[in-house]
Structure formats: structure tokens, C-alpha cells
Copies of this chain bind each other. A is one copy, B any other.
């Protein structure tokens, strides 16, 4: 089949490479608003050509939206406005509530499948694309009963070929869990980078001493603001809620250190260690 990838950055570019590697798509058309990135995507072979959404849709079976989450709902509506019964539109965004609400009354809603592959790196743009990122990661499909059976089937087949276990959730439910497990990690990492850049004025020391666990904790702070600002804004209430809890936990730990509460601190860390049960 021919697939169109709207947004030829980290996620869209990686999907394009994977679809071609696995022989799922013979040809990938790119739609990319940044002309420099469009050229790079063609140069790197992520896509064969780039064009407009309208022209790309004339020739594509699958249309994939891999753009920042604030741009997805409107492009989703535009794609649904011209989708046929033989075409499927999907998104790969990190929030689902607003998107699913915006398209909920669209007469062609059933041609859309809302998906969130739980993979990414701290890098962005076409040069960040890799052909084996998704394998083994979970993909969440939201509101599956709102998608036509054949559309859902095509998307499930694609993700299974990518070796991704599929979980089904409602859109609101997805956004709550994404806030807890993914979005909060990025905020802590951004805040940690800001803290260290603020406090550690001798930058050489950051580099020299970073062996002590700093690198893995701060890695996500390299992530793209263009991608993450819209995610935090679209998932605002869930993010605010989990962030309140996180600040509270830090304040409790800080108070225990201040009061020399060794027993309390040990107990809290032992509780935190329970994450071992879940993340091996």
C-alpha cells in the first residue's frame, strides 16, 4: 500500500522507516510544514516525496498524523473531510481527550483510529528517526468501538507487524495514565535540568560528575518544547494533579531530611523501591 505520514519527525519518520523495512508500505508520501525538514526527510529516504495533505490523500490507503498534539485535531478533521471508505486515518499523539472530542460528531469518524505508541526519544526532527524504535513497546488504541471494524483491523495488523502489544482504553482514561507514567517524567526532568543549570555554575563539574545517575534522570530534558508544551497544555488537569502530588512527595522527603528523620526516610525509600516489582 501507499501510506502518507503527516509530520516527518522522530515519530512519523520512524514509522515510515519501519513500514518500509517490514514491507507494509511500498511507498511513503510525506506531508511536512517545515520545508527544511521536508528536504531532509526525502534525503534520508524516510519518504519518497513530500506534497500537500490533499494531494497525498488522493493516492494513500493509510494517513498517519505524527505532528504535535495541538495540531492533530484540526488536521484530523481536514483528513476526515476527504477520507473514503477505503482509507484509514490514524494519529500517534500523546493525548487523546481533545482529539476524540473534536472528531466525535464527524460523519466519517469511523475511518479514524486514535493510537498512541508508547515510544519516543529525547531527540526530534527527521534525523532522529530510527527503524526499530517501536518493537516491543505498547501501543494504546482509544475508543476502538468508534472505528469501523476494517479500519481498526488494518491498524491492529500494522501494530502487530511492528511487534507492539495493543491495549485498549477510553480517551479520558488514556490521558490520566499518560500523565502519571509519561508526562510527569518529562516535567521532572525539565525541572531537574533547570535546577542544576541554576545551581551548578561550574558547568565543567556537571559533565565530570554526571556519572552519579544524573544522565539518565535528566535525559528527557533534551526533549522538544514544540512537542511537549502542547502535550502539557492539552492534558492540563491530569498533569496539574500529578504534579501537585509529586511536589508534595518532594516536600515530605525534604522535611524528613531537615528533621533528621532517618527512619521515615528509609521507610519512604523502601516504599519507592516497590517500583522494582513493576519496572524490572
- Which A residues are closer than 8 A to B by beta carbons? 94, 117-120, 122, 137-138, 140, 165, 167, 177-178, 180-200, 202-203, 205-223, 225-226, 228-229, 232-233, 236, 239-247, 249-251, 253-254, 257-258, 260, 262, 265-266, 268-279
- The interface residues of chain A, by DSSP majority, are classed as helix
Chain B residues closer than 8 Å to A278, beta-carbon distance: 203, 206-207, 210
Are A236 and B257 touching (Cβ within 8 A)? yes
A–B complex contacts, Cβ < 8 Å, 5 sampled: A138-B211, A181-B210, A182-B212, A216-B216, A225-B269
Known pairs A197-B275, A200-B180; A189 contacts B210 (CB<8 A): no
In the complex, the answer to whether A208 meets B254 with C-beta atoms within 8 Å is no
Looking at the assembled complex, report how far the CB atom of A241 sits from the nearest CB atom of chain B, in whole angstroms.
8
Inter-chain CA distance A109–B241, complex, in Å, is 53
User: Which of A117, A181, A270 is the most central at the interface, judged by chain B CB atoms within 10 Å of its CB?
Assistant: A181
The residues of B that contact A120 with a CB separation of less than 8 Å are 211-213
- Chain B residues with CB under 8 A of A206: 180-181, 278-279
- Check if B249 sits within 8 Å of A194, measured CB to CB: yes
Task: Please give the distance in Å from A188's CB to the nearest CB on chain B.
Answer: 5
Chain B residues lying within 8 Å of A265, measured Cβ to Cβ, are 225, 229, 232-233
Cα–Cα, bound, A265→B274 (Å)? 32
Contact across chains for A196 and B213 when beta carbons are under 8 A apart: no
Instruction: Assess whether A178 is in contact with B262, with CB atoms less than 8 Å apart.
Output: no
Residue of B94, B185, B194, B273 touching A271 (CB-CB under 8 A): B194
